[in-house]
Structure 1
Amino acid sequence: MRSLLLALQFLTIFSLKKDLSPRSASEMAWSQAFFPLVGGLLGGILAATAWGASNLFPSSISAVLVLTLHFLLTRGLHVDGLADSADGLMGGSDRERVLKIMKDSRTGAMGVSSVVLMFLIKFAALEVIISRKIFWGIVAGPIIARVAPGVFSAILPYARSQGLAKEMVSQGRWSIALVALSLGVGALFLFLPLQELLLLFVATLLLWSLLIYYYWLRLGGVTGDLLGATIELTESLVWTIICCNLTR
């Protein structure tokens, strides 16, 4: 239960217990197993918001409201990771330079451009999903995306000597990843058509395989920023695939 509360506190603005802190690195790492459940909560709130807004506003305005709420509920945590990752990976020529740029609190042109493009992709996909009233599609994105940290931490080492995500990543193991996968897939089975689930599974597996190889090639591991970027990229992919399926 503590790991679930840690996951909720880490990923969102919600905190059910004041002054909750991990008792060990292992406990913090195990919180990743419950990230998909937090994703389901986020997705449910976003879907309910989309449903309510769609009865009052055009689908485009509803999509903007959903994205704004998503940003507020997560404190823009993963968006910041995407910006830092884009700046570092596109601006650094070697491992040390990439890590140094990613640690810089200032956001560069690559980071801003990546965030803008990501929001445009999400907006376009959500506008279609909301206009077709396929609200389960909104829930799928946050669930699948938040399986990623557990999987990546089990495969890749932490790329820095120190960092905020070191405890989670360095203690990552396949048992944590398998629990995250089981919870994520189990939640999706409740509302996602099997054909859609298989398509999303294959597409997500391909994206993650490419990212894992790229992170290993460039940095020899993963960082908290890269995990955040992976979550944002996965969400964008899932919503885009669902959107494309609706328009076929």
Structure 2
Amino acid sequence: MTRPATGLQREWQAFWLALGFLTRLPMLVKVDYSQRLMNQCSVYFPLVGLLLGAIYAGLYTVLSGWWSPLVCVLLVLAFHLWITGAFHEDGMADSADGLGGGYTVARRLEIMKDSRIGTYGAAALMLVLLLKVALLTEVTPVWLGLLLAPAVSRLAPLCLMRWLPYVSDPDTSKSKPVAEGFSGQRLLVAAVGVVIMAVLFDVLLPALIAVVLVAALWGAMLKRSLGGYTGDALGASVVLSELVFLMLLAAA
């Protein structure tokens, strides 16, 4: 008979489940999958982002011995798109298509579920990728932006999940199990973790502005246009938070 996992074991499994949900990295521990564990794993999104950021920063440092900063940033971005399956970028494109091409809530949601990319989505995707590359080459040092942006930006979707209702079809959604039942306590834990990290690297103000600004403005747009959030909208919030954070770092 299998013993039920203890609290610490559940948290350990939740971390690995978050890693498997957000990336292509293999889960190296056995996970007792459940709806509750999927709910719990969201708190580790910023930590997974920090792990990804460490990989990106390390890769950039190695590559910088051979190529220019622009080439290195492009190679790191290509690696990012592969290791994450362009998960959040896909959400950005789908959100742009739905919000740009739909005139009713039902039609917007229908467009966002369509796997094909439209004009709005293609334009948005091209712009955010180009802007991300441009901003990363402006940040000094570059590795700092690569390290911190993935962690800071993954706090924004947790805020949306806590404050807005879910509006997509639970039978076809990948994000519903993650979002349902997300508690304020776990949001607080994730927020404290991001704040501590931002203080250690002296980027607290840019981090707070990026998360609060995107959560407030993007959240208000989603509330008005959709009545809540979808999985695609959560992915878009990560992309937007990254850009705002990098803009503030580059300006500083």
Normalised TM-score (structure 2): 0.90
Tell me the distance in 1 between the aligned counterparts of 2:16 and 2:236: 23
Residue 169 (1) aligns with residue 176 (2): no
Change in 2 beyond 3 A, CA 1:214/1:21: farther
d(CA) in 2 for partners of 1:91, 1:22? 37
CA offsets per residue over residues 31-65 of structure 1, 9 Å max, x none?
Answer: 11001110000001111111122221011101101
Can you give the 5+ residue segments of structure 1 that lack an aligned partner in the other structure?
none
Q: Runs of 5+ in structure 2 lacking a partner?
A: 1-11
Match of 2:58 among 48, 70, 80: 48
1:241 counterpart = 2:248: yes
For residue 139 of structure 1, the aligned residue among 138, 147, 158 is: 147
- Structure-1-length-normalised TM-score: 0.91
Once residues 20 and 233 of structure 1 are traced to their aligned partners in structure 2, the CA distance between those partners, rounded to angstroms, is 31
Distance 2:29 2:206 in 1: 41
Supply the distance in 2 between the matched residues of 1:44 and 1:3 (Cα, whole angstroms): 20
Of the three residues 213, 225, 236, the one matched with 2:232 is 225
Note the alpha carbon deviations across 1:1-46, whole angstroms, 9 max, x for none: 111011000011112237746312x221211100111000000111
Following superposition, the deviation at residue 174 of structure 1 comes to 0.9
1:5 corresponds in structure 2 to 16
Could you tell me the percent identity over the aligned residues? 33
Residue 65 of structure 2 aligns with an amino acid whose one-letter code is N
Q: What RMSD in Å do the two structures reach over aligned CA positions? A: 1.5
Moved more, 45-54 or 81-90: 45-54
1:209 and 2:220 matched: no
| Alignment-derived partner of residue 199 in structure 1 | 206
SS of 1:189's partner is: helix
Q: Which residue of 2 aligns with 1:155?
A: 163
Distance in 2 (CA, whole Å) between partners of 1:21 and 1:46 is: 30
Whichever residue aligns with residue 209 of structure 2, its letter is: V
> Shift of the alpha carbon at 1:85?
0.5
* Separation in structure 2 between the aligned mates of residue 149 and residue 22 of structure 1, nearest angstrom: 22
Structure 2 Cα separation of the partners of residues 79 and 14 of structure 1: 18
Inter-partner Cα distance in structure 1 for 2:156 and 2:211: 9
Q: How many residues align?
A: 239
**Of residues 27, 33, 57 in structure 2, which corresponds to 1:16?**
27
- Residue 96 of structure 1 is matched in structure 2 by 106
Distance 1:212 1:156 in 2: 8
